[in-house]
Structure 1
């Protein structure tokens, strides 16, 4: 129901029904209990410290080779299973894949000495072995998202386990390009901004600092979430999606201090991965060691990871079968929309038996 105004040439008509929906949905979005996430059926296979290996059974198993997801250390992985019908994990299990997910958990102060090498050698390697044993498969498909893709690539370069396929999405490999403020990059690379002392004091990077870092990198877009909610609050489907996304965005986890030091110094400052100089324990993480079938996905609207950060892996690996695609979506939208499941299936289905 719209009402005409005396100055309708200058003031748009007001749709009272739409406005009632807008403000009702807005009030509920800001005051209702948090939405339910992580709805797909799963079983715990293995646990080490705070990390858990989850198994998501296929609805009707169609493929022999299971998918093993490695997510970022910065965020919680339920973005991959955030809502019915758009869940990446639900989509893949419905398509006939067995799915494993390593949830790193939330490190406490007592975990301050856990580094990337420990995460890879003691956690990820063991978890992959458990997944292979649990599934009875001879090989596995490794799927890494964001920093999880970096970790998956590092692991694949030193792994003795049989990795048939490596899939990485929105992945930083070359850390020279940078989306954040230029002064941050210059300060860290020239030694003017040294985080080692800060981490030595705190032990772990607090989640509030992680949240602030992403807000600074994503500004001004990052600050428009409530503006977007207000403008589209009349749409209940959008509000439901917004609430899940907002919950995940604010649900940051601490970052183990030693791992953050390695990330900042070895990867961001020294760019050792792309140079072939990164050491994981006593092994050199040389990407040329990777011979698995490779699939790389970038987002054309990604405001965190640039395409030029991901694409160099294509030239570095020794894989014969390798594919690179760019999808018209953002960093999180690839997972949030469920699109990633369809893209993975299109590529990996012919490589999973």
Structure 2
């Protein structure tokens, strides 16, 4: 006996589907978009690292911002399009912005450690920004692993940091989004990167990307979104910029990678107050400046449990924690981050 189904399946529109998949194929095979930076000037360079200055459109605040990005990816995600640029959003709001671009370490840079990056590059870069701006103090903004580095730096430096902002920041590595057995193996020493790093020295971008894709589940949703919205030119432009950035990892200096895996991920020394950088103990309780931490509710890479402990570890009297409905990348890509920073920072920055 035939039974009529209550579910009506619409007829397939072959012509529409052919247009859709033709457009998807075109998007996936055409040249990657060219990223145009906001107006900027180079104010300092050391080895592969560059310090960029993005002047305010109309300067409202004398306290400049200094961005520290991750060592894993390239920082142009912060200035990826005119409409959603984090940096442009802040210069339009009256802030002078400095960005430390770590650059691409070569094979000759395999001995660059966290100590070197923080003391020889970051600390000197902040000194140059203070000198260049003529400001008495500065606000430091760290994103992802850049937030970890910025926090370590703030805990050991004597430079005048007025405000510290960290976003999607991994601090407590006893938790994470990686498979439980992977984390367990790393923490008990059965998983190690030391011999692998010794072979490669500086890790090539393709291997960096492959390694860190194992930390989170494979995400196919960007391609699902592309198929369903291939007709939307604004969405496609945004998608192509994100896709370019996601597939444009930076090489990783071997000494720094060993420290990240062994001192941070394996031994969790930052949370325990046992991390030593250049002979200085990186105790987060030394951080007393105004402090703002931002987490993404839909972050597939950095679990909130990795970020939240920082609120108990810093000694700041003025400290704020905010959870935003965004993902790890979309927080920077959507245009949300600049207004979030400005809302908190404007009352904590000196007027020009």
TM-score range, shorter chain: over 0.9
CA contact (8 A) 1:288 1:318 kept: yes
Partner of 1:281: 278
Give the Cα–Cα distance (whole angstroms) in 1 for the partners of residues 206 and 180 of structure 2: 22
Shift of residue 338, structure 1, vs aligned partner:
1.2
TM-score by structure 1 length?
A: 0.94
Shift of residue 173, structure 1, vs aligned partner:
0.8
Q: In structure 2, which of residues 185, 188, 205 is the aligned counterpart of residue 187 of structure 1?
A: 185
Unaligned runs of 5+ in 1: 1-8
SS in 1 for 2:311: helix
Shift of residue 278, structure 1, vs aligned partner:
0.3
Q: In structure 1, which of residues 204, 207, 210 is the aligned counterpart of residue 208 of structure 2?
A: 210
Q: Does 1:339 align with 2:336?
A: yes
Shift of residue 27, structure 1, vs aligned partner:
3.2
CA contact (8 A) 2:171 2:306 kept: yes
Partner of 1:303: 300
SS in 2 for 1:247: helix
Partner of 1:31: 29
Partner of 1:5: none
Q: Does 1:59 align with 2:57?
A: yes
Give the Cα–Cα distance (whole angstroms) in 1 for the partners of residues 119 and 66 of structure 2: 16
Partner of 2:20: 22
Partner of 1:160: 158
SS in 2 for 1:204: coil
Partner of 1:317: 314
CA contact (8 A) 1:287 1:316 kept: yes
Give the Cα–Cα distance (whole angstroms) in 2 for the partners of residues 47 and 64 of structure 1: 24
Shift of residue 36, structure 1, vs aligned partner:
2.0
Counterparts in 2 of 1:26-105, with a 5 A limit? 26-105=24-103
Give the Cα–Cα distance (whole angstroms) in 1 for the partners of residues 262 and 315 of structure 2: 27
Partner of 2:243: 246
Shift of residue 197, structure 1, vs aligned partner:
1.0
Give the Cα–Cα distance (whole angstroms) in 2 for the partners of residues 33 and 181 of structure 1: 35
Moved >6 Å (runs of 4+) = none
Q: Does 1:266 align with 2:266?
A: no
CA contact (8 A) 1:278 1:286 kept: yes
Shift of residue 204, structure 1, vs aligned partner:
1.4
Partner of 1:178: 176
Shift of residue 17, structure 1, vs aligned partner:
8.0
Partner of 2:234: 237
Partner of 1:4: none
Partner of 2:4: none
Give the Cα–Cα distance (whole angstroms) in 1 for the partners of residues 300 and 51 of structure 2: 30
Shift of residue 21, structure 1, vs aligned partner:
5.5
Give the Cα–Cα distance (whole angstroms) in 1 for the partners of residues 332 and 294 of structure 2: 12
Shift of residue 26, structure 1, vs aligned partner:
1.7
Q: Does 1:199 align with 2:197?
A: yes
Provide closer, same or farther for how the CA distance between residues 17 and 101 of structure 1 changes in structure 2, counting only shifts above 3 A. farther
CA contact (8 A) 2:152 2:284 kept: yes
CA contact (8 A) 2:140 2:163 kept: yes
TM-score by structure 2 length?
A: 0.94
Identify the range of structure 1 (68-77 vs 174-183) with the bigger mean alpha-carbon deviation: 174-183
Q: C-alpha offsets along residues 238-284 of structure 1, whole Å, 9 cap, x if unaligned? A: 11111000000000111100000000000000000011110001100
Partner of 1:348: 345
CA contact (8 A) 1:21 1:233 kept: no
Q: Count how many residue pairs are aligned between Structure 1 and Structure 2.
A: 345
